[in-house]
Structure 1
Amino acid sequence: MGPEYDLPLPEEIPVHIALPTILAEVAVLSRLERESEGRIKICTTAAEVRHCFDAGTLAVVLHLEGAEAIDDEFCNLEVLFRAGLRSVGLVWSRPSRFGHGVPFRFPGSPDTGPGLTPLGRELVRECNRLNIVVDVSHLNEAGFWDVAKITDAPLVATHSNCHALSRHTRNLTDRQLAAIAESGGIVGVNFATAFIRADGQMREDTDLDDLLRHFDHLIEHVGIDGVGFGTDFDGAKIPAEIGNAAGLCQLRAAMRQHGYDEETMVKLCHGNWFRVLEATLKG
């Protein structure tokens, strides 16, 4: 990959194609829960997530990355909510009926075009009504500010990093970070190397110190209560020292060596997510 890039994106997926795929995936998850003999649970409240954590059970919060399976009347949203949906990313990086995603471009600003459509703004209100988390990761900057104006819940970026450290369009500006802090929200640190590195390259030989600089910057600009893990293991190049979920122990060791004390570690690893889920998943 060259020093500058702008990756092509696929077209929006129509509802009639997206919905059967999502339903099939929810069915697979439901089967896994049923056959796990209590080792996996689909959680719909923060209390359930906490209980799973204490019991050593894998807690799953059902999330859509891109709302293309949701119809214009939000009937599908109601059905998916009943099936356990509790978090929605309004868009993936491609434009949709709901708004404009931010492309995979380096170097670049997240200010890449128009924000939410009228339908997208209504979707935010519906998610607020149902106490569904609204995820601003993958939204462009105009869409982010549209959500900030509408939502009555904490701003959540489930997997995003700092534009001040890596000038990738997917990363958040300090002004956006300040808005997340003001809302009592959270940023989950993304492990994808393209969003970590100052050169925007997708390289597995990325040093964990580069990732820790994003933690430091987020703690400075969002606050110690507003930063967590965002990972992004599915489909991204991750630093080789982490590799997959089993490598989180390596990251935790690097965080301790970096100087994070145990109270800070608890907040970053899970405590801050508990706080935000308790403020959002009120059902």
Structure 2
Amino acid sequence: MKKWFYMGLLLTSYSLQAQDFKTVHRDLIVVDGHNDVIIESILPGHDISSRLTTGHTDIPRLIEGGVDVQVFAVWSDDKKWQTGAFKHANDQLDALEKVLDKNPNQIVLAKHTGDINRILSEGKIAAVIGIEGGNMIEGSIANLEKLYERGARYLTLTWNYNLPWATAAAVEVLTKSDKGKGLSEHGKRIIRRMNELGMMIDLSHAGEKTFYDVMRISTKPVLVSHSNAAAITPHSRNLDDKQLAALKQNGGVVGVNFYSGFLDATYEDRVQKLYRTHFGERGDYSLSVTRQYGKLPPDLKHKANAPLPTLLDHIDYLVRKMGIDNVAIGSDFDGIESPPQGLEDVSKFPNLTKALLERGYSQEDIAKIMGLNFLRIWKENEN
């Protein structure tokens, strides 16, 4: 049985001398704060009850990877779903529920932190729901409440496009003027209602102005579910030092994203170089990096992916800037095409524990990064 070193309980320090990393990993509560398997596999009809040959996630691989709590992201492309996004969100939840109904002995929905102990004591995976993109509430607080009732425990305010009530990082960086950036008055009402519900506010993808507007309004710690350190990899999806300081002061948590492009500033150049080397003059260099990556043979894809130590560098930096209590995991598996070498899918999570041990992190600190910090912020958001 997993040991739950939970909020409010004393964390026991362990001697790690000669201790096997698999044993250490088995005793952790592993929480992955962001995974896109619903849109990637479940909704298209792939049965994740069995091991798949595509994608990053299925139940057998979750078990193999020792994942105890998996957040399932409900996502939609804003441009495609300018109407009907709320229904699309519910369709995804329906699809997830079918998976849970089919596999009751392996995975169960958790709506409260108090559910976690019970689910894990039964030897099952706890499924948690996150909504990635405020477009899916269609500007309606009533829709927000309905998604919360169905089990959604965080809302990522924006994806890569502005909403009428909040602006996105991908758009904010393109305009110099602050006019129209951040939260509208209605956006502020949505934030306040989320606080009242006990629903975590997720600022991954949110614009800088939106980020600071939320920090001024929220009465609860804020989540950044799947982002990294901009000081290492400058990107609008990553947080700069000023944002990290604000998040620390708020008591919030950032979940480290596994996407090579957010981890390694040289990733895109490396893909371009490998693409040219393989395809030569036949290659269309104008293709997006994502499409170029998809055309590379498996051996070259592996070479393009960020080395695992690069992910550790981001964790180290975030811990130095924010402290050990404010860093978590938000893999973005099945929402990314290029995870780090050694973390190719959810079955490989023990490799991250091994790498953290080799970096000198104590088991107590690893327990926080791998799960307890996410559970702590969820608990502090609950009413």
Tell me how far 1:238 sits from its aligned partner: 0.7
Q: Which moved more, 1:133-142 or 1:267-276?
A: 267-276
Match of 1:210 among 302, 310, 322: 310
Secondary structure of residue in 2 paired with 1:264: helix
Alignment of 1:1-283 (within 5 A): 11=79, 13-14=81-82, 16-103=83-170, 114-199=181-266, 201=268, 204-236=304-336, 237-282=338-383
TM-score (norm 2): 0.66
What is the alpha-carbon distance in structure 2 between the residues aligned to residue 110 and residue 190 of structure 1? Answer: 26
What is the alpha-carbon distance in structure 1 between the residues aligned to residue 97 and residue 354 of structure 2? Answer: 34
Q: Which moved more, 1:202-211 or 1:43-52?
A: 202-211
Secondary structure of residue in 2 paired with 1:48: helix
Identity within the alignment, %: 29
Q: Would you say the 8 A contact 1:67–1:98 is kept in 2? A: no
Counterparts in 2 of 1:111 and 1:206: CA distance versus 1, 3 Å: farther
Tell me how far 1:159 sits from its aligned partner: 0.6
Letter of the 2:144 partner, please give it.
L
Q: Would you say the 8 A contact 2:78–2:135 is kept in 1? A: no
Tell me how far 1:217 sits from its aligned partner: 0.7
What is the alpha-carbon distance in structure 2 between the residues aligned to residue 11 and residue 205 of structure 1? Answer: 29
Larger radius of gyration: 2
Q: Would you say the 8 A contact 1:110–1:172 is kept in 2? A: no
Letter of the 1:233 partner, please give it.
F
What is the alpha-carbon distance in structure 2 between the residues aligned to residue 96 and residue 86 of structure 1? Answer: 20
Q: How many residue pairs are counted as aligned between the two chains?
A: 271
Residue in structure 1 matched with residue 40 of structure 2 by the alignment: none
Tell me how far 1:43 sits from its aligned partner: 1.2
What is the alpha-carbon distance in structure 2 between the residues aligned to residue 48 and residue 248 of structure 1? Answer: 23
What is the alpha-carbon distance in structure 2 between the residues aligned to residue 111 and residue 172 of structure 1? Answer: 18
Letter of the 2:79 partner, please give it.
E
Letter of the 1:13 partner, please give it.
W
Q: Would you say the 8 A contact 1:44–1:84 is kept in 2? A: yes
What is the alpha-carbon distance in structure 1 between the residues aligned to residue 247 and residue 109 of structure 2? Answer: 27
Tell me how far 1:72 sits from its aligned partner: 3.3
TM-score (norm 1): 0.88
Higher relative contact order (CA 8 A, sep 6+): 2
Q: Which runs of 5+ in 1 are unaligned?
A: 1-8
How large is the RMSD of aligned CA atoms in angstroms?
A: 2.3
